[in-house]
Amino acid sequence: MKQYAKQFNPMTILAIETSCDETAIAILEAGRDYFSVRKSLIASQANIHAQYGGVVPEVAARTHITCIIPLIKKAIGERVPDVIAVSAGPGLITSLLVGVHTARALSYLYKKPLARINHIEGHIYASWLKKKGTGNMVEGRVKFPALALIVSGGHTELILMKNHGRYELIGKTLDDAAGEAFDKAAKILDLSYPGGPAIACRARKGNAQKAPLPIPMIDSKNYSFSFSGLKTAVLYRVRDLKKNGQYSPKMRDHLCASFQHSVVSVLVAKTISAAKEHTVSSVLLGGGVAANHSLRKNLAHAVSKMRPKPELIVSPLQYCTDNAAMIAVAAFFKVRKSVFASPIFCQADPLWDITNE
């Protein structure tokens, strides 16, 4: 910490995130006991992939290549950052390679240290960020042990965080991720990509009880999730309703409400059980699906009834979906411990498990 204070007070971290279909660049300014997001730029490819109903890896990688340098130039201007950070996995290998190789080149060229960040760890550290424009205290409100529910297009994980950098994976999906299930169900329901916001919007007008769907794994005595059967249940229900001439826009709203209810119910139930079993002091919610209003509301309600009551820290909306500010914050905590990667050997790892360094 002393070493950090001497070398980097204050410092700027340039963070790069290209693990899926967003090219994201952030500049974090950090002092001894604060950090603040100076820039958080995102070039979303959602419109490009919408025509295919999901992310096409080759298209994503090609788009990252054209976007990344102009976005970095826009973010840094004339100023050379003190640290380069990059999301090195998990994610799509072709997308990750663009960010990792750009970061390696910048680190080598500028002779600045390189921080290699796990994308899921980034989603966890979004909980240390406050809403745009406000200063961010280093320690924030998070108290350890903390339980993080990270729900995104590629992941559904319950992670016990004992301290900075100390993780235990206590539950995950056995098949589709929650966001992936939203996206696939949306496709079946002829809704646009990404499916999460599209389903959430229709769900507000529907009634879950008018089209009940199963709540997968709700009674299993573990912290595993499974969403692929739920998606298939939607597929068969739509097929049957269409056959009987009962598939109306209203019925689609009901199915959206029901689908969302099933996903949210199981996520909340397992998070609360795990929080109780591990007697955590904080519950963190992050990842793209954490933008879901129903999930935020129901988890807040369930946590508020716990005794003793842990602190619930939900990532600010703009830092739920993929962004580079969260990667910069994760990097900040690595820099404090002087944990750096080599610009020559830093590798992308599409399957990087957060419990491995």
Q: Under the rule (CB under 6 A), what is the footprint of ligand KG4?
A: 20, 152-154, 179-180, 182-183, 194-197, 200, 287-289, 291-292, 321-322
Rounded CA separation 99/96 (Å): 5
216 interface partner picked from ligand KG4, Zn ion, none, CB below 5 to 8 A per type: none
Using CB under 5 A, which of 136, 152, 156, 315 touches Zn ion? 152
328 interface partner picked from Zn ion, ligand KG4, none, CB below 5 to 8 A per type: none
Check residue 322 for interaction with Zn ion (CB under 5 A): yes
Contact in structure between 241 and 247 (CB atoms under 8 Å):
yes
Closest contact distance (angstroms) between CB of 93 and Zn ion is 15
Residue with tokens 């025509």: 51
What's phi and psi for 260, nearest 5 deg? Answer: -60, -40
Name the region of 41 (left: φ>0; alpha: ψ -120 to 50; beta: rest). Answer: beta
Rounded CA separation 338/346 (Å): 16
Residue with tokens 């809403």: 131
Closest contact distance (angstroms) between CB of 193 and ligand KG4 is 8
Q: Which two tokens stand for residue 306?
A: 């716990």
Closest contact distance (angstroms) between CB of 91 and Zn ion is 8
Closest contact distance (angstroms) between CB of 152 and Zn ion is 4
Q: Give the interface segment with Zn ion, choosing from 24-32, 39-47, 146-154, 238-246 (CB under 5 A).
A: 146-154
Strands in 311-314's sheet, in edge-to-edge order, are 166-172, 156-163, 146-151, 282-286, 311-314
Rounded CA separation 223/45 (Å): 33
Closest contact distance (angstroms) between CB of 296 and ligand KG4 is 9
Check residue 183 for interaction with Zn ion (CB under 5 A): no
**Interface map 79-118 toward Zn ion (x if CB under 5 A):** ----------------------------------------
Number of residues that bind Zn ion (CB under 5 A): 2
